Amino acid sequence: MKTIIINNNSKHIKELASLFSDVVILDKKNLTQDFDINGYDLLILSGGSNVPTVLRHPEEYTFEIELVRKNSIPILGICLGTEIICEAYGGKLQELSEKHRGSIKLKIEDIKLKLQLGKDELEVVEGHQIGVKTLPENFVSCALSEHGIEILKHKDKLIVGFQFHPEISDNKKLLDWAFETLKITNQSSVLFFEG
């Protein structure tokens, strides 16, 4: 399985890449309108550090938004990547009252995820100030925190978004659920294209 990660200046890109085999990392600045997604089996949109928000600057993410809209392979969004998915499908984002950093408890809503975890709460690591206010059409919430929607997925398409950082949350069962939901399998070996 070949995975492409669009790196939105994530501080955790190496941790994220280590979760997948046959990985190509493409920095956002090198993404062009005519980028060919053919040949890849999974698209990951990373989180971002010290970058413009999707809420106030959607034009900064035009190529990624288009890629999400026209793409038919599975998509996994992490933090900023989830906000890009939300924007692409017409959801509403909001600025939270303060930046949230560190551990937070999630209340799990998705039945399969509850079964996979064996519980209905989970602690994860987040770092963001933008949240999902309104789900896009045909998306469902899979987990909530006191800050709002933390996990979302499309009802029919293979799209999952985490508003936190599963790559540093150290919860294998959560990632197993995401991979199963996206119908992907895992191996190991990383190739960097940082440009």
Catalytic residues, by residue number, are 79, 165, 167
Phi, psi at 48, each rounded to 5°: -140, 150
Query: HEC states along 111-135?
Result: HHHHHHHCCCEEEEEEEEEEEEEEC
State the first-to-last Cα distance of the chain, in angstroms, to the nearest integer: 23
The rounded radius of gyration (Å) of the Cα atoms in the chain is 15
Rounded Cα–Cα distance for residues 22 and 121 (Å): 32
Relative to beta strand 92-108, strand 139-145 is antiparallel
Rounded Cα–Cα distance for residues 110 and 190 (Å): 31
Number of residues written out for the chain: 195
Q: What residues contact 78, with CB distance under 8 A and at least 6 apart?
A: 10, 16, 44, 45, 46, 47, 161, 162, 165, 166, 167
Rounded Cα–Cα distance for residues 126 and 78 (Å): 10
